[in-house]
Structure 1
Amino acid sequence: MLNPGYLAATAVTLTLALQAPATLAELQTKTMDYEVNGETYTGYMAWDDEAEHQQPGVLVVHEWWGHNEFAREQAEKLAASGYTAFALDMYGSGKQADHPDTAGEFAREATRDLDQTAERFRKAMELLQNHDSVDPDRIAAQGYCFGGSVVLNMARMGMDLDGVVSYHGSLSSPIQAEAGEISARVQVYTGGADPMVPAEQVAGLVEEMHNAQVDLTLVSFPGVQHSFTNPGADRIAEKFDMPVGYNEDAARRAWQGTLSFYEEIFAE
């Protein structure tokens, strides 16, 4: 069912407080190397080892810059909020871009063959599901920029996920959602002033998900640019003259909405 609250951020009031974080002593992290088709990838697991029961798992898919500190920080924030999180690697060990041209090359290679993309994602999901702290039947995924488009495409491909969250990700895709094929609920956060995700993409996603009978919540923040969740976006904008920018209010509201979303879907 299409959520009527997608129309504008101004129509959405999020009043839920952040869940109380776990203490630092309980937070565990581990860098993990794994293989997909003979190639090595490096991910990052974060969890609370004092949790009394198995926790839901959340996959974190990085921006087009690659698996970096920002992605790991998101995994740690999720672990502090009661989830086991795995910041996966879509490019391969050591592949981090320091220039938009390189980032674009990496992103195109990782998504040129969507079956290959799905295989990389699925392997990371299996690692998360097999972690001792995780309830394998409660899994979600969230992604940023490039990663936002990846998690949406994994939902479109029918991956067995409870929900996906896309932050400033591309909303268009060569894959079109079909009724009855998507099990995940979908949440999208986008910037109203993001030229990389124009209004026609937003309208196209709403129509696509409506036709596929997918439970969609879409929030568009007026005047907000691309990469609004990443505090490093302002430095990138200045260095490369790119239309990106951090927005503290939008980032906070998106995070609060995400935690509320997970609390709801994992309680079902």
Structure 2
Amino acid sequence: MNHSLKEMVALVTGGTKGIGKAIADRLSNAGIQVIITARTAPAEVTEGQYFIQSDLAQPESAEIIAAEILEKYGRIDIIVNNAGANLSPGGGFSTLSDEHWNNDWQTNFMSVVRINKALLPVMIDQKSGVIVNISTGAAKLPVWEMTMSYSSAKAALNAYSKALANEVATHGVRVNVVSPGLVETPLMLEFIQNMAQSSSVTQEEAYQSVMEKLNVPLGRMAEPDEVAGIVAYLVSPEAKYITGVNYSVDGGALPTI
């Protein structure tokens, strides 16, 4: 991260907590003007950040966000599509309704497609821009009893990201993916709590069950800032020859290199 990033404008969706907040704060500290979105307004917005309240699962949200950013700042240099969640119950295919599938795909895939579609024309006109789509290790290593519909939506995001990277590279726009594994965020802790309640076990037992299923060699969950670090690198000039790549930040959980 260096002085060349200052005065750039970045959008970080889902930027009020967890991984998104860590990314937004890292970019703000580099001098970038950061716009964050979330369904719920934070108690306090960090200095140097601008908040837009929005539910990205709603199709009209992307155009509204894009219009506000362009009216206020007139440009967009970085998009970090971080907003996403594993919204469906565990238990496998028989527990998942059409509504569960639709919610996961709207939140984790179509929301990204719409944001990029709304803002990419500006990047193409500028002949510069960087997009980082936040996926998950579960897209390559799905856990059927916990992440079936979520994993499928994120797997689609991976394929879409590679195709988009190839399409817009000649316009000076780079697209990459970061795939975290287990990260200690409020959403993850809530997921473990719900898993404990539904399985009638303690939270510690549920935590250990998740760790054992994913077999993390480093033996712990990541901190959000450990994901933010690779995102900060990818949007910087140091990564100007990197596009169409998916980076795993999973403590070694993916069993292939």
What TM-score, normalized by structure 2, do the two folds share?
0.47
What TM-score, normalized by structure 1, do the two folds share?
0.46
Higher helix share: 2
